[in-house]
Every structure is written in C-alpha cells, then in structure tokens.
Amino acid sequence: MIFRIDDIGASTKRFEQYSKKKWANFWFLKKISPFKAWGPYKELTAEEWGKILPIFEKNNIKPIIAITASWVEKDSSLTPFPKKFPKEAAFLKKSFLENKIEIANHGLTHCVIGRHLPLFNASNRYFHREFWPDLDSSLHEEHIKKSQSILENYFEKPISIFVPSGNVWSIKTYQALKNTNIKKIISGKYMLDAEEKMSGIEFIDDHKNFISFHDRELKLFGIKWLERKIEESKKHELFQI
C-alpha cells in the first residue's frame, strides 16, 4: 500500500467551504459543525510533522506528500509555499533529502484563481479544482511550469510525480507536463477530455494500492487516527495474501 497525503500548502483548506446539505450552504452555516463538509482548517506545523513522520518511518512507509506550490491569498495574489510556511517547508525539505518522504506536485493553486473565495449561499467546490479542460492551454502551461519551478528550486531535487486536484486534468495538462521532470500522474481518473495514450509519463490509478487522504484528517483526528489507518492497511495486505 502506498500512502499519499494531499493538500499541503493549499489555500483550499481555508477557502473551500460547502455543506452537503443544500440549505446549509447559506452564509456562515457551511463553516460550522455539523453542517460543514470541508474547510476551514489550519495548515500542519513543523512540530506536527515531527510527530507524524516517525510513525511512517517506524512502519517502513515512505509517504507521498502532495504539495500545492502556492497559497492563493484573499486578493488572488500567490505566495509560494516556502515563503508562506517556512518552518513546515524546511522540515519537509530535510525529510525529502533524507529520503524519508516523496514530494509530489499538487498544482500551483489547487483552485481557479479569483473564484476561490466562499460564496454567500452556494458551494464553491467546483472552483477548488485547478486543471479544468475548458481553461486555456496557456493556463495549464503556466501553472505547471511555475509550480515545478517553485518546488524544484526549493527542494533542490527533481519532482517526478504530479497529483491533480480533485482528479481533474486535461490533455492540455499532459502537454504542459511533457517538458518537465514529471514521470507519473497519480489520479483517480484519466484526463477528462481525451483518451490519448501518453508517452514518457505513466498514469497510475489510485483506486488500487493507495491509501490517500488529506492533511485535514491528520489535523482534525491526529496521530491515533493515522496509527489506526496504518494498522488497517496491514490487515488488508495480510488478507490479500
């Protein structure tokens, strides 16, 4: 089983706000329990990572940490991950260079810039996906190029895995990825708008052999939840043999 944690550094945790109950998407209701289905929640700290990573290590698991390269601010400006969360970034860099974790590209923004803020009486979930097929190929190109450059410059190591937000990506995303170090796309879905075969980039369906979750579960449910999750995965593997 491969463990993958998404949404590190993504402002989606702050701005994606919706409720599964349609009527509760009104104003602040979607922000509070028991109505809220997603955000807001806080970014994991370096101290929290310091407790999380040893659990993976103890169990001989090298998790994939999928980072969104920029935080989208309220005014739509972008702050690169290492600048927004310097201590967390430094901790992850050290762990990456020590080969304890794998770092994946989880987009530049995770969302459509300018459409990311919570809506007064509706869900904004749709806009918390980044690589919609109807967006210009120049946008796909720019977001892939910028995100790779932020991550690779900071981590000083090639980034070879791409995880599209919400399993949404397009043939335009693939074309943009062709000129990068990306070798694998891990997603629950193939490109939405084409069936074209890829060359030089492998598609990995995360329905099989993956335990994927978000920093949200770690933030809200803590270490005990993670330990339980790892135990379950071991039982599952035993069962499969």
Contacts to Zn ion by CB under 5 A: 6-7, 165
Q: How far is the CB of 116 from Zn ion (least distance, A)?
A: 13
Q: How far is the CB of 150 from Zn ion (least distance, A)?
A: 17
Q: How far is the CB of 216 from Zn ion (least distance, A)?
A: 10
The sign of the CA dihedral 182, 186, 187, 192 is positive
Q: How far is the CB of 78 from Zn ion (least distance, A)?
A: 17
Q: How far is the CB of 68 from Zn ion (least distance, A)?
A: 7
Cβ closest to Zn ion, residue 29 vs residue 192: 192
Nearest to 14 by CA among 35, 34, 54, 43: 43
Pairing between β-strand 161-162 and β-strand 2-8 as defined by DSSP bridges? unpaired
Cβ closest to Zn ion, residue 39 vs residue 80: 39
Place of tokens 């708008």: 193
Other beta carbons within 10 angstroms of residue 141's beta carbon come to 16
Cβ closest to Zn ion, residue 24 vs residue 163: 163
Question: Percentages helix, strand, coil for the chain, rounded to the nearest 5?
Answer: 40, 15, 45
Cβ closest to Zn ion, residue 115 vs residue 234: 115
State how far the Cα of 207 lies from the Cα of 22, in Å rounded to an integer.
Answer: 28
